[in-house]
Amino acid sequence: MKKYILIGLSILITACNLGTQPPTPESPATQTPLRFDELNASPSPIPVTATETFVLIPTPEPPPLYFTDEFTSASPYWEFLQTGGLNTPTTSYENDSLRIDISSPDTWMIGIHNAHTYNNVFIKTRANITSTGSFGLICRYNENGWYEFNIYSDGTYNLLYGKQLTEGIAKYIPLSTSTSGAITSSSEIGLHCQDNFLLAYVNGNLIRRIDVTNYGLGEGQVGISASSVAESPINIHFEWAKVEQD
């Protein structure tokens, strides 16, 4: 009986040993060798994101203190302001001239050259009008007002003290009004601001000299003016503007 037990136990131990296998080592991962062209290939370029480019346009150098503007192109140093009337006048540059179009009656516009300020100065211009209206010159423009000389196509002229009240509206005080046979629809005019006097010229002729001591404008910028009267529309062409030393 014991012998059978021992034989059975031996068979059982052998069976257990045969059923247990030692662990098999894992084989390394299989790698595919690189081709020659892959070994020498350049890395793929990194895509570049497009960026927006801004081009800065420099402001041209201001003209010298005394200069002539022949209006061949627009200048950043001219500032145009409406001083009365319903519709805003428009400006353009054509055929080497500054054109001002006014579509409503009794409308005023001034153009201020803001590069320099002057005390005593002589400013001149040549312009022509297509219909009834006026063009003129300005000196000593500042926050306290300005002096203005205008000629009209009917032979009338005036000298004014102007002051901006609010945007698009100015107050004008007549200093002198008269007529001159020298005035035509195409004329060269000049305004000389000399100490406490204004001197007005038409085609080289002095037509008026007045004392402006009471208004006390000592210095300021120079400019031009244009206006319509009862009739409209009109356009005015300025051929040039010249600023000369007193």
- Sequence-ordered alpha helix ranges (H) in the chain: 2-19, 36-39
Radius of gyration of the chain (CA): 45
In a domain, 220, yes or no: yes
In a domain, 236, yes or no: yes
Q: What are phi and psi of 214, to 5 degrees?
A: -65, -20
- Read off the tokens for 55: 């081009």
In a domain, 146, yes or no: yes
Residue 91: CATH number of its domain:
2.60.120.560
Tokens 């306290």 -> residue = 144
In a domain, 17, yes or no: no
Domain count, the chain: 1
pTM above 0.95, yes or no: no
Residue (of 135, 142, 151) closest to 215 by Cα position? 142
Residues 97, 241: Cα–Cα separation, whole Å: 10
> What is residue 57's predicted lDDT score, i.e. its pLDDT?
65
Range of the domain at 92: 79-245
In a domain, 238, yes or no: yes
In a domain, 58, yes or no: no
Residues 173, 206: Cα–Cα separation, whole Å: 22
Q: Which mean pLDDT values do the consecutive 10-residue runs of the chain (246 residues) have? A: 38 40 47 50 56 67 96 96 95 96 96 98 95 94 97 95 95 97 93 98 97 96 96 93 94
- CA–CA distances in Å: residue 141 to residues 18, 30, 110, 112, 114: 117, 91, 11, 8, 9
> What is residue 164's predicted lDDT score, i.e. its pLDDT?
95
User: What ranges make up the beta strands (E) of 21-66?
Assistant: none
In a domain, 60, yes or no: no
On whether the CB atoms of residues 206 and 94 are closer than 8 A, the answer is no
> What is residue 129's predicted lDDT score, i.e. its pLDDT?
87
In a domain, 161, yes or no: yes
Residues 186, 231: Cα–Cα separation, whole Å: 18
